[in-house]
Chain A
Amino acid sequence: MRDDPRAPLLPTSPGFWRSPLRGPRFTAVLGLVLLVGVTVLFGTGLLSYAACNPGLSPVNDKTPDKGVLGFYLFAWPTDPHWLYRLTQGVHVTLGITLIPVLLAKLWSVVPRLFTLPPARSLAHALERLSLLLLVGGGLFQFVTGVLNVQLDYVFPGSFYPLHFYGAWVFFAAFVAHAALKTPTALRNLRRLREEPGDLVSPRPAEPTVSRRGALWFVGGASLLLFATTVGQSLGGALRRTALLAPHGGADPGSGPNGFQINKTATHAGIDRAETGADAWRLVVTGRTGTVRLSRAQLAGLPQYSAALPIACVEGWSTPDQWWRGVRLRDLAALVGHDDPPDLFVESLQRHGAFRKAALRANQVADPRSLLALYVNGEELSPDHGHPARIIVPAAPGVLNTKWVARLTFGDL
């Protein structure tokens, strides 16, 4: 088809948009995929927020002014021990996988951005304003998430409040949009023939690919992102398939301490002089007073083992590692708490948002929760928290404090 010399040039003219792919059915398919996908993202995001136990103590709470947005918070369980590995792996991997669907969906409806008249009614005007929150808020969530897992902290503020409050702004617009559009989308899919709509180009260009082909392409793009990312959450030999994900490829080392590291000892500002056998003492405080223990004394206490993963808020995780050390409940009993209470943990770490962290009584009471001294049969390496680190089943990595200096048992 030749280009019409009288072609309208402004994007506000329906004839400006010439792709024969656009149409209500194409948009409906992408929209329904996002309806399910974004709902799962929001749900797993809320779970990740709850997993940090922000209601427990101010040190865990990066969003102290959350108000009713924390209405659903609950004591994060320790069973199953891979719980956070699963929920956060799904959150990050699904988010990355949905990017092509999001881009295709936005492409499919872009003519509507330029629709004239700008508003046919008050409700229509408000709906278009709400779309700014939907599109801007949605892109904000995806962009901040993708940047954060790559450690590129260029966004305007701390990630936790931005991504949490941003999620609520986006979700408010998303729910309204879904309620208004899902019935139409389902109707469009059930119809055998496409009904003409404002998305169908009035003068379509000659097709270079079928609609079905375009949907296959979007699915293929999602599959490519999925395949080059998911390995960082599965670990083992599959980690090498995550070619572009931040914790894909080979492990940082070999041997018992060779598994993935969130923050190295050097990065956390750990001074070797403070962690040596002569200098380091664990200070344990509780109901009956304070006890100071050297690493040799800790190693002399009854030792227990637990096979637990490291699961990071960034979505990557390791398979179960074999940790060995002193049970947190035994340390609680040592300072007079036979019934394990909450625990306040402090690290030698100089900086980092979670150098102090609180654990809830149910986490302290779990017999698999350890102050670990060994991993996979060897002493902890400096990068994995030597002389001693916390390891708790199902807890996010940030709560598994490394280079522990002080444990304070009791109500927070």
Chain B
Amino acid sequence: MRPPRIPLGSPFRLLLLACSFALAAYAGVRLLAGDWFGVALWIVGAALLHDLVLLPLYAAADRAVVRGLDAVGRRDLTLYVRVPAALSGLLLLVWFPLIAGLVEQRYRSATGLPADVFLGRWLLITAVLFGGSALLAALRLPRLRRAANRRPPAVH
């Protein structure tokens, strides 16, 4: 029996990828010229941290919200919790150094601006997001429920 041959795949794809790797390597040796280990760690670590930590974490948090509300029979509230929570979390993720005060001293000294305002602003935006969501839910859900009650119950 002949050993199985490894298929090559599309030649166009191979050539394109070879070209891409060559350019990436040309820039890559320059990128890694300094602290090569640190930079490689950051690039590979960014992909791994995102795919194996951040994504599972927010997916699990979302599932907990959906299941929790389902368990108390308030499935209709899901979006009204999920949207403001996700938006607030996103703002925290992007502006974490400023909000958490990691750069307070350098920021104040360099820009002449107060550095302790970001946590308060983020909390206020979060309050507005949840407050607006609660207001929407209060206005819309009773109407939806009345409409649902007028319809015959769906068969499951």
Contacts and interface: CB of A to CB of B under 8 A. Distances in A.
Interface string B11-29: 0011011111101101110
B112 A252 contact: yes
Interface string A125-160: 011001011011101100100110011100111100
A132 to B, nearest CB: 6
Contact of B20 (A68, A176, A213, A246): A176
Contacts of B79: 208-209, 213
B66 A243 contact: no
A186 interface: no
B10 interface: yes
B52 to A, nearest CB: 9
Contacts of A67: 26, 30
A126 B17 contact: yes
A174 B124 CA distance: 38
Interface in A215-264: 217, 220-221, 224-225, 228, 243-244, 246-247, 249, 252-253, 260-264
Contacts of A262: 110-111
A361 interface: no
Contacts of B38: 156-157
Given A151-B110, A252-B111, A175 B20 contact: yes
Contacts of A122: 6-9, 14
A330 B79 CA distance: 65
A12 to B, nearest CB: 14
Contacts of A209: 79
A213 B34 CA distance: 45
Contacts of B149: none
B31 A169 contact: yes
B55 interface: yes
Contact of B30 (A66, A103, A208): A66
B131 interface: no
B9 A121 contact: yes
A237 B138 CA distance: 34
B97 interface: yes
A262 B112 CA distance: 9
A154 to B, nearest CB: 8
Interface string A68-100: 110000000000000000000000000010011
B137 interface: no
A64 to B, nearest CB: 10
Nearest to B41: A156
Contacts of B30: 63, 65-67, 69, 161, 165
Contacts of B35: 156-157
Contacts of B10: 123
DSSP majority for the B interface? helix
B111 A157 contact: no
Given A176-B17, A262-B110, A263-B110, A150 B47 contact: no
A212 interface: no
Contacts of A162: 31, 39
Contacts of A103: 90
Nearest to A68: B26
A169 B28 contact: yes
Contacts of A146: 94
A161 B94 CA distance: 22
Nearest to B37: A156
Contacts of B42: 140, 143, 155-156
Given A120-B7, A122-B9, A262-B111, A107 B55 contact: yes
B44 interface: yes
B43 A140 contact: yes
Interface string B72-93: 0001001100110011001100
B117 interface: yes
A245 to B, nearest CB: 8
B115 to A, nearest CB: 10
Contacts of B21: 126, 130, 172
A333 interface: no
A68 B29 CA distance: 13
A130 B103 contact: no
26 contacts: A65-B30, A96-B94, A100-B90, A106-B55, A123-B9, A126-B18, A135-B47, A136-B46, A137-B24, A137-B43, A151-B110, A152-B97, A152-B102, A152-B103, A155-B42, A156-B38, A157-B35, A165-B30, A172-B24, A213-B79, A225-B90, A225-B91, A225-B94, A243-B125, A246-B107, A247-B111
A-B CB proximity, top 10 nearest: A123-B9, A156-B38, A121-B9, A168-B27, A176-B20, A165-B31, A139-B46, A136-B47, A152-B97, A172-B24
Interface of A: 63, 65-69, 96, 99-100, 103, 106-107, 110, 113, 120-124, 126-127, 130, 132-133, 135-137, 139-140, 143, 146-147, 150-152, 155-158, 161-162, 165-166, 168-169, 172-173, 175-176, 179-180, 208-209, 213, 217, 220-221, 224-225, 228, 243-244, 246-247, 249, 252-253, 260-264, 266-267, 383
